[in-house]
Structure 1
Amino acid sequence: MRLDKYLCESSDLTRSQARSVLLSGDVTVNGEIMKRGTHEVREGDEVQWEGETLCLIGLRYLMLNKPAGHECSNRNSQHPPVIDLLDVEKRDRLQTVGRLDVDTTGLILVTDDGKWMHRIISPRNRCEKVYLVTLSDPLPENVESLVATDTGLDDEAQRGLCASLVRVGDRSIRLTIQEGKDFHIKRKFESIGVPVLALHCERIGPVALDADLQPGESRYLTATEVAGLAHSSDEAGTDD
């Protein structure tokens, strides 16, 4: 990797700022002052800026307990982006893996690994998502068949919406979906006359939201969780 890019990847420096600190002679590679941004940094090289050793941030994978009132977007909006809740370096590089509506709460994955993200959100992979759905009125006796009925959604959204439905209470269910999105869930229940009051994402693939992770809090995924999410997506995609 070029030295100027290494400086940007391992610090808050912009490309122009990296060129300036290089020219000032404040950067060393293996103890030698290096002013050329084109210098190739190799594995095992020690890069220091003003005497402090720099390390590449690397790819990151996090779970975040999304509170209501935040958007899964980095674009300007009337609502704050969920990325702003993260206390990490270079958070502008991070993206949510899929999106939850502004009033939907619960598990959202965050990463700067585009390939990993695509494997999870690609419709062909059908990575399962589990939602706790709280409704405005008591559940109809035939709610299972109503949800399975091809009404309120287009064919593609309907096919991916319901993998399983479990009654939790007289006004709540646990719904497992594959290709659908949270607004599809709301639209479906509105179409059968039982509007959704609250929607909470509990699980994506094999990874469930930590019970002790408070709204707005996050943690890094373990290596097992990262691999498990990618693996479960690959397995789902082999059913075609």
Structure 2
Amino acid sequence: MVLEKMLQSQGFGSRKYCQQLIKAGAVVIDGTVITDPKYKLKLQGLSFHVYNDEYTYREKVYIALNKPVGYECSHQATHHFSVFELIDDILLQRGVQTVGRLDQDTTGILLLTDDGQFLQALTHPKKHVPKVYQMHTVDPVTEQQIIQLGQGVELRNETGLFQATDIQLISEQHLQFTVHQGVYHQVKRMVAAVGNRVESLHRLQIGQLKLDQLAEGEYCYLTEQQILAAKNQSPDAQLLKI
């Protein structure tokens, strides 16, 4: 691949702008300033600098973000901030999208990618990728409510039962469980269906990828192993922390 095309693929702007970057001497590879837009590159393991900032070539990008309260999963946020304000402009140029959505008042792990197949693999209703949530409820959680959640509840305008698995009562108003679907406001609606209400909600895990040390509002690129962990539906698979 030639240099101008590589820069464009990585989100640095239009072909013309990438040509201007190169001719201005802004691009350095292996310690050498490259001023030829048609300079041919080997992409495997490629790292480069643009205006002294280091980058790694990525055919596709996979990002985990620790979403704070007050951010919408929309490019055109209306009443709150957009989660896309938390990532670099070159990622926006690549057209990254959120893998599913979290409400503005829900925190926790959110994945973003420009890989349509990866997005489909995690969001298609038939895939049943597990997602772990922790929540505080308005009222104390009763044993009967836990039983109902485990057996499955009906949700208005949805087909079938929606069941929680791996239910843990952390304290009387602090609950954790796993869901395997992805319908609109599912966790809040399930808790409401058993006679309680979610006060705050945090997504802790997607597949076998668990939020651990990533600071709120920060993001990181996923490794190949972490990408596979996000798609993994087996509870016996290795849990990877980020």
Range class of TM-score, shorter chain: 0.7 to 0.9
Larger relative helix fraction:
1
Whether contact under 8 Å (1:10, 1:54) holds in the other structure is: no
**Aligned-partner SS, 1:203:** strand
Q: Which digits, 9 at most, give the CA deviation of each residue in 1:45-77, with x for residues without a partner?
A: 99x999999964432222211111001122242
**Aligned-partner SS, 2:141:** coil
Whether contact under 8 Å (2:154, 2:160) holds in the other structure is: no
Q: Which digits, 9 at most, give the CA deviation of each residue in 1:71-114, with x for residues without a partner?
A: 1122242221112212x451213222111111000111122222
Aligned-residue offset at 1:121: 1.6
Distance 2:129 2:35 in 1: 49
Corresponding residue for 2:240?
A: none
**Aligned-partner SS, 2:181:** coil
Q: Which digits, 9 at most, give the CA deviation of each residue in 1:133-176, with x for residues without a partner?
A: 210001123012333354334444634x4233221111121110
Whether contact under 8 Å (1:157, 1:184) holds in the other structure is: no
**Aligned-partner SS, 1:229:** helix
- TM-score of the two chains, using structure 1 as the length reference: 0.76
Q: How many residues align?
A: 227
Corresponding residue for 1:77?
A: 78
Equivalent residue runs for 1:106-125 within 5 Å: 106-125=108-127
Equivalent residue runs for 1:1-240 within 5 Å: 1=1, 4-10=4-10, 12-18=12-18, 41=40, 43=42, 56-86=57-87, 88=88, 90-92=90-92, 93=94, 94-147=96-149, 148-156=151-159, 158-159=161-162, 161-181=163-183, 183-210=185-212, 212-230=213-231, 232-233=232-233
Distance 2:6 2:179 in 1: 41
Larger relative strand fraction:
2
In terms of mean alpha carbon deviation, does 132-141 or 50-59 score higher?
A: 50-59
- TM-score of the two chains, using structure 2 as the length reference: 0.75
Distance 1:118 1:187 in 2: 24
Opposite residue 43 of structure 1, the aligned amino acid is: K
Distance 1:145 1:95 in 2: 36
Query: Relative to 1, partners in 2 of residues 1:157 and 1:95: Cα closer, same or farther, differing over 3 Å?
Result: farther
Distance 1:32 1:64 in 2: 33
Opposite residue 9 of structure 1, the aligned amino acid is: S
Distance 1:99 1:116 in 2: 15
Q: Which digits, 9 at most, give the CA deviation of each residue in 1:31-53, with x for residues without a partner?
A: 99757xxx69463699x999999
**Aligned-partner SS, 1:90:** helix
Instruction: After the TM superposition, list the runs of 4 or more consecutive aligned residues in structure 1 that deviate by more than 6 angstroms.
Output: 24-27, 30-33, 48-55
Distance 2:61 2:136 in 1: 32
**Aligned-partner SS, 2:155:** coil
Identity rate of aligned residues, in percent? Answer: 27
Query: Relative to 1, partners in 2 of residues 1:201 and 1:181: Cα closer, same or farther, differing over 3 Å?
Result: farther
Aligned-residue offset at 1:15: 3.0
Whether contact under 8 Å (1:10, 1:55) holds in the other structure is: no
Whether contact under 8 Å (1:6, 1:41) holds in the other structure is: no
